[in-house]
Structure 1
Amino acid sequence: MIHNKINVFNVETLHGQFQSFDGGPAIAEVIKFVKLYQLYSSAANELFTKLENLDSEFQVMHDYNPIHAIDSRMKTPQSLLDKLNRKKIKVTAANVQAKIYDVAGLRVITNYLNDIYTIRDLLVNESDIELIKEKDYLKNPKSSGYRSLHLVLAIPVFQSTGLKKVPVEIQIRTIGMDMWASLEHKLRYKNSDDSITKYAQKLEDYANQLLAIEQGMQVIQQNL
């Protein structure tokens, strides 16, 4: 669950961060960003609760939990500003709403491969959820070996000003895929691209080996 730590009382701090981009937006625009963060945080919390409820229902109905773990995160203001700058997008709250889909995000770790699409279908078939984007890195893994299912879902959020649909990015992958992605990210973070390139084939091979293990575990689970 995300607990929003950005509020109107740290507008001055945020304004200082924003000053280095496009000359910096006015205080009034920074306040819009604060309100936007609260809205996106609420959307992520709504989706988090839906997933917990779905997992609990599976436990009751099937004596089985498809979800191993759920992590949630909000993109930091600095990270958001960096992304806007890279994409040459003017720093406004309206532009973030129109062009940036990963301000709020969840990572869902499943127990087995089939659980990934089970979770995907359950979410997409919810009457109040809208699928905005989908990237399937399971069927089409990245050249590095990275596998995951990425969705952007529009989640309804009830506020004092009315109902709003808010995008939340969700990444769904297995325990093995998450382990590989986490370790690969740490290796890339601590080393230059040149030094990691010579191990690219090994990393891809390890990703494929993990997939083979998980496919085998899936077969055992289905046969039990």
Structure 2
Amino acid sequence: MIKHWEFFLAPYKQAVEELKIKLKGMRSEYELESVHSPIEFVTGRVKPIASILDKANKKGIPLNELETQMQDIAGLRMMCQFVEDIYTVVDLLRKRNDLEIIEERDYIADKKVSGYRSYHVVICYPVQTVSGEKKILAEIQIRTLAMNFWATVEHSLNYKYSGNIPEDIKRRLQRAAEAAFLLDEEMSQIRFEIKEAQAVFSRKNEVDGD
């Protein structure tokens, strides 16, 4: 059984590693030009087997349909400093010809009831294997650092309470989500000053390094 899962997940692992390199490469291009990068950093993972089985059970997805029905077995996160950067990154993804965008979900313009905000892009990505090309689904989540902090905490609490977070904690989480978004909005108002300050600091480090 373990051997079967290793074989099944191998192309997903390959896709995550390839996409991390490619998406981090986008950031490097901005750094080479000494301009603000809309991408702060990139992470990726393949969903653990237990999580795949749990989600398949909750969503009623037959195991023989995982490849077509479960979009986030391969998952990547792209962190941004500013909300505006998120939409810049989405545009960059739309222009790529090495992946196909299947679906977009804007949970920033239309946040979830919980307070969750993020931009989800589901892609179809071709992986080259010894058996030939295999197209797999992957989900890219694009969010600010503040959104990611909130989402990470909410995910942990959901796990602790098996999806049934007590009402008082839910209310506090919703307030925290609004506070995080207010932080993002305030940072956006002074983003030009922040970018300028970061550019000056970066140039100083380069000179000091020389």
Fold similarity call, TM over 0.5: yes
**1:210 matched to which residue of 2?**
183
Which of residues 94, 106, 121 in structure 1 aligns to 2:91? 121
**2:57 matched to which residue of 1?**
85
Q: CA deviation at 1:162?
A: 1.4
**2:18 matched to which residue of 1?**
46
Once the two structures are overlaid, the 10-residue window that deviates more, 168-177 or 198-207, is 198-207
Secondary structure of the structure 2 residue equivalent to 1:199: helix
Q: CA deviation at 1:103?
A: 0.4
Question: Structure 2 counterpart of 1:79, which letter?
Answer: S
Q: CA deviation at 1:208?
A: 3.4
Q: CA deviation at 1:223?
A: 7.4
Secondary structure of the structure 2 residue equivalent to 1:203: helix
State the TM-score, normalized to the length of structure 1.
Answer: 0.77
Contact kept, 8 Å, 2:84 with 2:188, in 1: the verdict is no
**1:102 matched to which residue of 2?**
72
Cα 1:205–1:122 change in 2 (3 A) is closer
Q: CA deviation at 1:220?
A: 3.1
In the alignment, the residues of structure 2 paired with residue 207 and residue 144 of structure 1 have an alpha-carbon distance, to the nearest angstrom, of 13
Contact kept, 8 Å, 2:72 with 2:139, in 1: the verdict is yes
Cα 1:190–1:97 change in 2 (3 A) is closer
Contact kept, 8 Å, 2:121 with 2:140, in 1: the verdict is yes
**2:15 is aligned with 1:37:** no
Which of residues 107, 114, 118 in structure 2 aligns to 1:148? 118
Matches within 5 A, 1:161-200: 161-190=131-160, 192-200=165-173
Contact kept, 8 Å, 1:113 with 1:218, in 2: the verdict is no
Post-superposition Cα deviations, 1:57-114, rounded to whole Å, max 9, x if no partner, equal 111124333222212111111111111111222222xx11111111010111112222
Cα 1:206–1:48 change in 2 (3 A) is same
| RMSD (Å) for aligned C-alpha atoms | 2.2
Q: Percent identity?
A: 35
Cα 1:163–1:189 change in 2 (3 A) is closer
Secondary structure of the structure 1 residue equivalent to 2:112: coil
In the alignment, the residues of structure 2 paired with residue 150 and residue 223 of structure 1 have an alpha-carbon distance, to the nearest angstrom, of 29
State the TM-score, normalized to the length of structure 2.
Answer: 0.82
**2:190 is aligned with 1:220:** no
Cα 1:34–1:202 change in 2 (3 A) is same
Gaps of 5+ in 2: 198-210
Contact kept, 8 Å, 2:146 with 2:181, in 1: the verdict is no
